[in-house]
A = this chain, B = another copy of it.
Amino acid sequence: MNVHSAAIVGASGYTGLELTRLVARHPALRLEALYSDRWSEELAGARLPLPGPAAALRYRPLAEADRAEAEIVFLATPAEASAELAPKLLARGARVVDLSGAFRLEYAADYPAWYGFAHPAPALLAEARYGLPELAREKLAGARLVTNPGCYATAIALALAPLVRAGLGLQGGIAVTGMSGVSGAGRKASEDYSFVEVADDLRAYRIGRHQHVPEMEQTVARYAGACPPISFTPVLTPIRRGILATITIRTGPSAPASDLAEAMRAAYRDEPFVRVLAPDKVMVKDVVHTNRCHLGVAVDTRAGAVVAVSAIDNLVKGAAGQAVQAMNAAMGWPETAGLDLVGG
């Protein structure tokens, strides 16, 4: 692994911060620029614990990001900003890993409805490689533009793909409840996300309308050949980071023929970051601060359903860690490089 230069745009959001921690310690990356208006001119080392050279970097204004000179540029910017920036950076010869949704959907026509803007660079949608290595590894090698999966989409597609491939869910529907920590909403000065409003509370939001829905359906369909519509209900929970998704697939009166836990285990046997456990052993606390996804599956024979459970850290496997993993795959490095996290 030769050392390559790297930059992070949008470095002061929760995803950007996590990415800074990881990139600064990556054995094959030399972090050389951080862009953030919020902390412009401040020292990075004053904001988070970093090794020497990264600690000495000063945040630069976002307006300068389109002239970033790093070989690899991570975009932790809102989708609309990424959609504008990525083409410019690619034109300069940079490799881009975009953590927003700007390049996740296959069809530009879906952007107005799900993301609220008309896509300014639709040609890039075909070029972007989806950065979920466990399902799409073979297309990542050499990728110039990696589109990093959404946090909910990661947790849910990893659980669903092997089950749908085993024939589940194609006739009935799939009902998903995705419970997320508050960092999933980003860094915000908002009363809605204040401690007093969120602590001790649970609430659903954007039922059936979350922008990760088309992404998870598209991803499962690509991997498993087809995907029925997913009815997705996100829920805000009083934890800082982490996602737990419960996925109920109707099977009807006859129990599934195959051993579903075994199918899951087989699908991920050689994956360093995925573990299949008994479903009541799948806990957010075991995956936070790691790049892991823990999965489990239960058969509810009585009710004619299969229930899968999936847990990730929304900021690591659901964002920054996965971006590093996908970049590793794109560069031909070991996927675990820079990702042996202590956890806890």
Contacts and interface: CB of A to CB of B under 8 A. Distances in A.
A110 to B, nearest CB: 12
Interface stretch (A29-37, A91-99, A101-109, A176-184): A176-184
Contact of A283 (B203, B296, B303): B203
A87 interface: no
B239 A284 contact: no
Nearest to A297: B207
A300 B206 CA distance: 10
A246 B235 contact: yes
A182 B188 CA distance: 17
B202 A244 contact: yes
B282 A204 contact: yes
A8 interface: no
A232 B258 CA distance: 22
A203 B289 contact: no
Nearest to A251: B173
A279 B207 contact: yes
Given A14-B196, A246-B235, A173 B303 contact: yes
Contacts of A197: 195, 285
A270 interface: no
Interface residues of A, number: 82
A168 interface: no
A344 B18 contact: yes
B248 A175 contact: yes
A341 B340 contact: no
Interface stretch (A74-82, A128-136, A305-313): A305-313
A300 B207 contact: yes
A302 interface: yes
Nearest to A184: B196
Contacts of A242: 200-202
Contacts of A202: 179, 237, 239, 242, 244, 283-284, 311
A71 to B, nearest CB: 23
Contacts of A340: 25, 51
A195 B18 CA distance: 17
A237 B190 contact: no
Interface in A311-335: 311, 315
Contacts of A309: 204, 207, 233
Interface of A: 14, 17-18, 21-22, 25, 48-49, 51, 172-173, 175, 177, 179, 182-183, 187-191, 193-208, 213, 229-233, 235, 237-240, 242, 244, 246, 248, 250, 279-280, 282-286, 288-290, 292, 296, 298-305, 307, 309, 311, 315, 340-344
Closest 6 CB pairs of A and B: A208-B300, A175-B248, A231-B305, A175-B175, A231-B303, A202-B244
14 contacts: A48-B286, A48-B343, A172-B172, A173-B250, A182-B195, A182-B196, A189-B189, A197-B285, A200-B239, A200-B284, A231-B300, A233-B248, A238-B239, A315-B344
